[in-house]
Amino acid sequence: MTDLAIGMIGTKFMGRAHANAWTQATRFFDPPITPVLHTVAGRDAAATDAFAARWGWQHATTDVAALVRDPAIGLVDICTPNDVHAEAAIGALEAGTHVACEKPLADTLAHAAEMTAAAQRAAARGVRTFVWFSYRRVPAIALARALVRSGRLGAIRHVRAVYLSQWGIGADDVWRFDAAVAGSGALGDIAAHIVDAVQFVTGEQITRIAGSLMRTYVPSHTVDDAVLFLAELDGGATASFEATRFATGHHNAHGFEIHGEHGALSFRFDQMGRLAYHDATAERAVRGWTTIEVCDGDAGHPWVGAWWPPGHPIGYEHTFTHQAADILDALGGRPDDALVAPMPDFAEALQVQAVLEAVSTATTRRAAVDVAEITESCVADS
């Protein structure tokens, strides 16, 4: 088994989630590569030293530039505020190092395009990129994708997706409320997740934003606190999206409904071990919603067989472990189509960011916007 030295940037919320994931990946899964917690970087030296000691990192530093170009490091994991993503990722890619980056890919579409261009150049040397759309690795969401791909829903007609959180109410003015650092608010922070989830499950891309509305409730915030938009998918389905960090009564409530000609699916993260399925082809007298308990590895439910016996729930942190294990599998030579769920790279994350930019543009123009227009302008500018 080959070792892979990990260099991680960031020691806060995502830093803890990722450090835990790298630690757990080989305890519950059997990837061909073993991650080694080599170096962690943070802004505050004392806090970074304490983080390294707590999580078992061999080295701690405040010098991000040195970390991304350290020849001993095989993968750079970026868990920072969005404005730091581009410089760190491009530096690592130019050094020939694999990169795993948090979402959204960058603070701006232009920076995301620069990162993707660097990734394309590095790919010629066998360098890989990964993006932490970790909700893809909720077992129920991956099962939803498999059911759609099997044809159980038929043609997708309508989608609804929401991400409701209340943490912005009364919160201090942290970086997530600052456009210069975050780039956007609820749009990039949480709507990015449901955009990716819908495209991942349906296998269709958002092509047009038919209308959008963005609101900022706190004067000191320079980003959106809430966003709603209507979209069209390339298979012909209509979709609605809603994301806010001001949803009183909700901590982390997100999910989707997908309606097709032969059936429907419904998922809620606060019941992450369950997927609701409606078979519209069943005998009418017994037709209705069925709740699938996605907890049985022997039944083919993704990832859960590596954990506990059926009926013993897993949680939020496990999605990161699933992604860490899949990254190790991918770098160990396992074909992408053999992974339980496709692994998003920078190019795929750039497409999500183009959708988000189209939402912002549609809000400004008060008119519909084609995502292709945003993508083409991004390519031209880069």
How much is the pLDDT for 29? 97
Domain boundary among 84, 106, 134: 134
Q: How confident is the model at residue 380 (pLDDT cuts 50, 70, 90)?
A: low
Domain boundary among 134, 168, 192: 134
Q: How confident is the model at residue 7 (pLDDT cuts 50, 70, 90)?
A: very high
pLDDT, averaged across the chain:
97
DSSP bridge pairs for 276: 266, 291
How much is the pLDDT for 93? 98
pLDDT for 128-152, tens place per residue?
999 999 999 999 999 999 999 999 9
Quick count: other Cβ atoms within 10 Å of Cβ 202?
25
pLDDT for 71-127, tens place per residue?
999 999 999 999 999 999 999 999 999 999 999 999 999 999 999 999 999 999 999
109-123 and 371-381 helices, crossing angle to 10° = 70
Instruction: Determine the residue type at 274.
Output: R
Q: What is the pTM of this model?
A: 0.96
13-28 and 316-331 helices, crossing angle to 10° = 60
CATH of the domain at 25: 3.40.50.720
Q: Which pairing describes strands 156-164 and 129-131: parallel, antiparallel, or unpaired? A: unpaired
Expressed in angstroms, the distance from the first to the final Cα of the chain is 40
Torsion from C-alpha of 66, 74, 17, 170, nearest 10 degrees: 40
Domain boundary among 134, 154, 180: 134
Element (H, E) at 373: helix 371-381
Percent of the chain with pLDDT over 90: 96
What mean pLDDT comes out for the span 229-234? 98
Say if residue 208 is in the same domain as residue 301: yes
How much is the pLDDT for 377? 80
Say if residue 184 is in the same domain as residue 129: no
What mean pLDDT comes out for the span 324-350? 94
Distance CA 93, CA 198 (A): 29
Say if residue 123 is in the same domain as residue 153: no
On whether residue 245 sits in a domain, the answer given is yes
Q: How confident is the model at residue 382 (pLDDT cuts 50, 70, 90)?
A: low
Q: What domain count does the chain have?
A: 2
Q: Is the pLDDT of residue 159 over 80?
A: yes
Query: Are 197 and 243 within 8 A, CB to CB?
Result: no
Say if residue 188 is in the same domain as residue 251: yes
Query: Are 195 and 250 within 8 A, CB to CB?
Result: no
On whether residue 263 sits in a domain, the answer given is yes
How much is the pLDDT for 337? 85
Quick count: other Cβ atoms within 10 Å of Cβ 115?
29
On whether residue 321 sits in a domain, the answer given is no
On whether residue 332 sits in a domain, the answer given is no
Query: Are 329 and 32 within 8 A, CB to CB?
Result: yes
Say if residue 159 is in the same domain as residue 105: no
Element (H, E) at 214: strand 206-215
Query: Are 29 and 297 within 8 A, CB to CB?
Result: no
Q: How confident is the model at residue 376 (pLDDT cuts 50, 70, 90)?
A: confident
Taking the CA atoms of 116, 118, 121 and 127 in sequence, report the sign of the dihedral they define: negative
Say if residue 279 is in the same domain as residue 175: yes
Say if residue 199 is in the same domain as residue 236: yes
From edge to edge, which strands make up the β-sheet containing 253-260?
289-293, 274-279, 263-268, 253-260, 156-164, 238-244, 226-233, 206-215, 369-370
Cβ-defined contacts of 214-221 (< 8 Å, 24+): 214/187, 214/359, 214/360, 214/363, 216/185, 217/168, 217/246, 218/168, 218/177, 220/173, 220/177, 221/173, 221/177, 221/185
Nearest Cα neighbor of 277 from 295, 297, 262, 296 is: 262
CA atoms within 13 A on the CB side of 46: 0
Element (H, E) at 355: helix 346-365
pLDDT for 239-279, tens place per residue?
999 999 999 999 999 999 999 999 999 999 999 999 999 99
On whether residue 362 sits in a domain, the answer given is no
On whether residue 200 sits in a domain, the answer given is yes
On whether residue 346 sits in a domain, the answer given is no
On whether residue 214 sits in a domain, the answer given is yes
Say if residue 301 is in the same domain as residue 175: yes
Say if residue 154 is in the same domain as residue 186: yes
Say if residue 124 is in the same domain as residue 214: no
Say if residue 146 is in the same domain as residue 252: yes
Say if residue 66 is in the same domain as residue 173: no
pLDDT for 280-328, tens place per residue?
999 999 999 999 999 999 999 999 999 999 999 999 999 999 999 999 9
DSSP characters for 302-324? TTGGGSSSTT----HHHHHHHHH
Distance CA 31, CA 292 (A): 28
pLDDT for 180-205, tens place per residue?
999 999 999 999 999 999 999 999 99
The vertex-371 CA angle with 367 and 374, nearest 5°, equals 90
Q: How confident is the model at residue 379 (pLDDT cuts 50, 70, 90)?
A: low
pLDDT for 60-72, tens place per residue?
999 999 999 999 9
Residue 108 belongs to domain spanning: 2-134
Q: Is the pLDDT of residue 1 over 90?
A: no
Distance CA 174, CA 181 (A): 10
